[in-house]
Structure 1
Amino acid sequence: MAEDDLIARRTASEMSCAGATVRVGGRKLAIEDVVAIACARAGVTLNDDTAWRDHIERGAAFLRARLDAGATVYGVNTGYGDACVVSVPPELVEALPLQLTRYHGCGMGRLLDPAETRAVIAARLNSLAYGYSGVRVVLLERLADLINFDVLPRIPAEGSVGASGDLTPLSYVAAALVGEREVAFDGRVLEAAAVWNELGREPLRLAPKEGLALMNGTAVMTGLACLAFVRAAQLTRLAARLTALCTVALDGRAAHFDATIFEVKPHAGQAQAAAWIRDDLAGREDTAGQRLQDRYSIRCAPHVIGVAQDALSWVRRDIENELNSANDNPLVDVDGERVLHGGNFYGGHIAFAMDALKTAVANLADLMDRQFALIVDDKFNNGLPRNLSGASVARAPICHGFKAVQISSSAWTAEALKLTMPASVFSRSTEAHNQDKVSMGTIAARDCLRVLELTEQVAAAHTLAAVQAARLRLSVTPAASLTTPLAAFVDQVGALSPFVGEDRPLERDLRALTQCIADGALVGACAPGAYDETVR
């Protein structure tokens, strides 16, 4: 490919990201930066600061000088893991990194999707750009090329114990750089070497330690955690809105969300959740005829949602600390002229954060499912039709409205709750008892994403039912009304799924709404980058 064509291809790729780029190197990334890259809303550019680039190159040169001086450096002129006692002859040192990538090509399970794959690459690039990994700038440039040209290694999700980092899944990133294994590119699945040829590049020849630097880190669990964080924050906000809508649908009491209640129990997330609900109910007046206290799934909703909201603050802290860290081994301290052997590849913080987050999210699923059970049941919904059926009186005996949807919601909730068993406590001793305490961070992150997927399905079902219930309330209670934000929300959902009068299959509606929730498009305040400061 001619250089002009290559530049045009790069320009087109960056334009597909709406002109946005995330600068990597010499600065910290936020979760939202990784998510923008993952969702193809932004490309990446490396810092053009001469001092930063010089620092990166000096690290690689220092490592080479140590080898030339006869020093022993783990994973550079020794075997890996338990084989660290095996010396590698000088004539085989250059071949060692490629061998590492090859024997780790044993991943199984589903392939990471495009957004997950981009998040993984972004996380690995940012860690290596920290400047303690002994890699060259050209390696960073090639990782940036994977993102900017959307060359996506086909990474199996299973096979990492989370220390020594995500070795097996990250071997697929390393293999793509050296022109081996398959990648997805331009709507095709091709051998990596063929794609580099199409882009006018030679496959990268790994320098000593570069294979280890690419693979011996926490990029898979961290990239997945960034995506999980955003989806959890969106669900937290949505759960509050649905609580407000259910309060109207059940003819419930707005007084349960009075600010004073939450001032005297000052959990910030709980207060934020109550404020969201209060804003959505602004102007609603309680009456003497209402039930004195609504059931727990309504009255205590801020207390449930608040746990997730408060968890997001420290989960963000731990994810972003991991994202902006040097997390491989050994580390190269070029200024101190030292090679440091340690354990920064251990993913314990991400493991614990993901185990905690999936529990908080599963509790949101349970809350929404309980609210759904209330509004669909004519014994508890204060005068709404059984199963929220919108059928005519003549057709009502054979119409069942949201009966089956509530059963499905209960099934999804049960599966989400079942998956809250913490992965981090299931450490296994591996690799001849060298890796005898491991984090299981990637399994925790994958579990969290599955819990999020199930909870988004519950949220979609509950949203359809709550909107149906609110419309029915307006018809059976003449004095009922919706505030401006709730009315806009009902209209937004109605554009995706019309009122259910006569029974109809709702799978298509549920799928469309679930995708809308996952994308953060259902509630404007839930869009990536628009979170309340309490989660920062």
Structure 2
Amino acid sequence: MNTTLNITQPQTLTVGLEPLSIEDVVRVAQAKCRVALPEQQDWRDLIQKGADFLDTLLQEEGVIYGVTTGYGDSCLVEVPTHQVHELPLQLSRFHGCGLGQNLDLVTARAVVITRLCSLARGYSGVSLALLERLVWLLNENVIPVIPSEGSVGASGDLTPLSYIAGVLVGEREVYYQGKIIPVQQVYQQKAIQPLTLRPKEGLALMNGTAVMTAIACLNYKRAEQIAQTATLVTAINVLALEGNPTHFDEVLFAQKPHTGQQKIAAQLRDWLNSEVQTAHQSPRLQDRYSLRCAPHVIGVFEDSKVWLRQFIENELNSSNDNPLIDPVNLRVLHGGHFYGGHIAQAMDSLKIMIANIADLMDRQLAQLVDHKMNHGLPRNLTGATAERLPLNHGFKAVQIGVSAWTAEALKQTLSASIFSRSTECHNQDKVSMGTIAARDATRIIVLTEQVMAALCCASIQAIHLKQLAQQLSPTLRAFSAWTLHSLALVIEDRPLQTELQQIVDRFAHFELSNADWMQQQEQLYAG
């Protein structure tokens, strides 16, 4: 697991006034920018008004859920005034029961910026000092270690978010300088005092959807990378398998007006070299579905990006704890904004879209390696000489691996949100399961990235075996070069694990879904 990130970029993202985008979260998660709070006095006054209003209510001995009462089903338990300030600490401690694999450093950073985004809207009643400490955590790269399991997605991500609250008060562990250490050591080293959480601040930190939303942001960008790569691979495989380019005809796709699907078809038209393709076209009139219907499969995600982004970014830029503190009209608003239903729906849907792309790629690879349907390519895409051919098996085992990864991805697609169950003495009697849905989606994405790595290698191997590499369009030549940066063509059998994993790791940079990068590569190879 990577536990080291260096914040070297001078750019600063200001959090608290303008809505954040998925890309903003990813930039902060990858430590590509620093974070700041607004300097505007009206924003700072808004934050202070919420905190002051809570203080006024306490002085007047008002009843405030989670401030002068217990939590959840314990809301009828009154907390004496002299114990009110201990309640946030108790909340953070009894929720420290998370298990499972820890979120990696990038994901944990995404969680912190996502929670900061919500609290900085000014409707959670937290102090400026708390917001400043969250900013400090990100800029100093002192990041809470957060177990991934233990949230049902309402009341928000209580247990995993308790690890942020715990770090703020000087408890739990953090990622710091490539190690996992107690946060108290960092505070001592930097001569910084832990925070004492004010009334409501423990609840504000923990009673929200930051974990599922942060994971959703990262999943969305990784899914974009997968869709982009799948389209590139499909174009290569149309050439390698002597496919029919007219399957992506503009007039044909105008008759089925899904704009995302049309975009994928247009990319395939642009990226395919029509003269070469016509010269090598198979006598088969219609290609098998995994080539012919690729825009219809990948296009489902492309068309869904609009509503997926809307769901994720609306949640990201919401105040999603309970109760909310209205700093304008000075009211306490009890509700259920901690419910992660939109993220659950987005992630349950994304799971199916991405697993379908894995299945599409699995079927394309099955064509490439099978001499009965690969139009003259060697068995299993081996590059061995005739003398060495009996000993070599090329991509045979890779195809088995792809089949296994695809099957596991498909198995994971069962909706998590339908498994709501009553918890916490039937107070939380309908829950979103949004965090489990997001984690499931991450697992499917990882498996599909493994499938994509294998397809990158196999498709480029195939195009070189057909001696078409120099006739590729600029974009496909760029894709070939990107793959060959990690792959040596397979002539004699060798273990491919390291090369496959290197390509999987490079997907994390989102290179192939970066329009600027693609344009640069096209220009590089245009000559």
Separation in 2, partners of 1:369, 1:514: 16
Q: Is the 8 A contact 2:393 2:493 kept in 1?
A: yes
In the alignment, what sits opposite 2:61?
Answer: 70
Separation in 1, partners of 2:111, 2:353: 24
In the alignment, what sits opposite 2:525?
Answer: none
TM-score normalised by length of structure 2: 0.95
Separation in 1, partners of 2:431, 2:513: 39
In the alignment, what sits opposite 2:497?
Answer: 507
Choose 269-278 or 183-192, whichever is displaced more: 183-192
Separation in 2, partners of 1:127, 1:225: 15
Q: Relative to 1, partners in 2 of residues 1:525 and 1:410: Cα closer, same or farther, differing over 3 Å?
A: farther
Residue 44 of structure 1, aligned match among 35, 40, 43:
35
1:341 aligns with 2:331: no
Separation in 1, partners of 2:178, 2:484: 34
Residue 95 of structure 1, aligned match among 86, 109, 128:
86
Residue 470 of structure 1, aligned match among 448, 457, 463:
463
Alignment of 1:210-221 (within 5 A): 210-221=201-212
1:459 aligns with 2:482: no
Q: CA deviation at 1:197?
A: 2.3
Q: CA deviation at 1:191?
A: 1.7
In the alignment, what sits opposite 1:278?
Answer: 269
**Amino acid in structure 1 at the alignment position of 2:328:** D
* Structure 1 unaligned regions, length at least 5: 1-12, 531-536
1:435 aligns with 2:424: no
Q: CA deviation at 1:42?
A: 1.2
Separation in 2, partners of 1:229, 1:326: 21
Residue 149 of structure 2, aligned match among 158, 167, 171:
158
Q: CA deviation at 1:519?
A: 2.4
Residue 115 of structure 2, aligned match among 91, 101, 124:
124
In the alignment, what sits opposite 1:421?
Answer: 414
Q: Is the 8 A contact 1:26 1:130 kept in 2?
A: yes
1:366 aligns with 2:356: no
Q: Is the 8 A contact 1:237 1:525 kept in 2?
A: no
Separation in 1, partners of 2:516, 2:134: 30
In the alignment, what sits opposite 1:520?
Answer: 510
Separation in 2, partners of 1:488, 1:270: 23
In the alignment, what sits opposite 2:164?
Answer: 173
In the alignment, what sits opposite 2:253?
Answer: 262
Residue 293 of structure 1, aligned match among 286, 291, 299:
286
Q: CA deviation at 1:67?
A: 1.3
Q: CA deviation at 1:199?
A: 2.3
Separation in 1, partners of 2:450, 2:67: 48
The share of aligned pairs that are identical, in percent, is 55
Separation in 2, partners of 1:526, 1:515: 20
**Amino acid in structure 2 at the alignment position of 1:69:** E
Separation in 1, partners of 2:181, 2:394: 48
Q: Is the 8 A contact 1:255 1:286 kept in 2?
A: no
For residues 53-108 of structure 1, the C-alpha deviation after alignment (integer angstroms, 9 at most, x for no partner) is 11001100001101111210000000000000011000100101000000000000
Separation in 2, partners of 1:366, 1:18: 38
Q: CA deviation at 1:144?
A: 0.6
1:84 aligns with 2:75: yes
Q: Is the 8 A contact 1:178 1:193 kept in 2?
A: no
Q: Is the 8 A contact 1:14 1:20 kept in 2?
A: no
Residue 319 of structure 1, aligned match among 312, 315, 321:
312
Tell me the SS of whatever aligns to 1:352: helix
Q: Is the 8 A contact 1:14 1:148 kept in 2?
A: no
Separation in 2, partners of 1:164, 1:51: 31
Tell me the SS of whatever aligns to 2:43: helix
Q: Relative to 1, partners in 2 of residues 1:523 and 1:219: Cα closer, same or farther, differing over 3 Å?
A: closer
TM-score normalised by length of structure 1: 0.93
Q: Is the 8 A contact 1:111 1:156 kept in 2?
A: yes
Tell me the SS of whatever aligns to 1:345: coil
Separation in 1, partners of 2:481, 2:385: 22
Choose 217-226 or 514-523, whichever is displaced more: 514-523
Separation in 2, partners of 1:140, 1:160: 24
Separation in 2, partners of 1:218, 1:168: 11
1:486 aligns with 2:479: no
Q: CA deviation at 1:523?
A: 5.5
In the alignment, what sits opposite 2:395?
Answer: 402
Q: CA deviation at 1:521?
A: 2.6
Separation in 2, partners of 1:371, 1:503: 22
Separation in 2, partners of 1:112, 1:270: 34
In the alignment, what sits opposite 2:237?
Answer: 246
Q: Is the 8 A contact 2:416 2:437 kept in 1?
A: yes
Q: Is the 8 A contact 1:164 1:216 kept in 2?
A: yes
Q: Relative to 1, partners in 2 of residues 1:523 and 1:65: Cα closer, same or farther, differing over 3 Å?
A: closer
Q: Is the 8 A contact 1:520 1:526 kept in 2?
A: no
Alignment of 1:367-386 (within 5 A): 367-386=360-379
Q: Relative to 1, partners in 2 of residues 1:15 and 1:368: Cα closer, same or farther, differing over 3 Å?
A: closer
**Amino acid in structure 2 at the alignment position of 1:168:** T
Separation in 2, partners of 1:526, 1:500: 31
Separation in 2, partners of 1:523, 1:268: 18
Q: CA deviation at 1:283?
A: 3.5
Q: Relative to 1, partners in 2 of residues 1:527 and 1:223: Cα closer, same or farther, differing over 3 Å?
A: farther
For residues 246-273 of structure 1, the C-alpha deviation after alignment (integer angstroms, 9 at most, x for no partner) is 0000011111111112111010110111
Q: CA deviation at 1:15?
A: 8.2
Residue 189 of structure 1, aligned match among 170, 175, 180:
180
1:444 aligns with 2:431: no
Q: Is the 8 A contact 2:245 2:274 kept in 1?
A: no
**Amino acid in structure 1 at the alignment position of 2:344:** A
**Amino acid in structure 2 at the alignment position of 1:357:** L
Separation in 2, partners of 1:277, 1:336: 55
Separation in 2, partners of 1:527, 1:450: 27
Q: Relative to 1, partners in 2 of residues 1:420 and 1:212: Cα closer, same or farther, differing over 3 Å?
A: same
In the alignment, what sits opposite 1:111?
Answer: 102
Separation in 2, partners of 1:209, 1:397: 71
**Amino acid in structure 1 at the alignment position of 2:465:** L
Q: CA deviation at 1:321?
A: 0.1
Alignment of 1:214-229 (within 5 A): 214-229=205-220
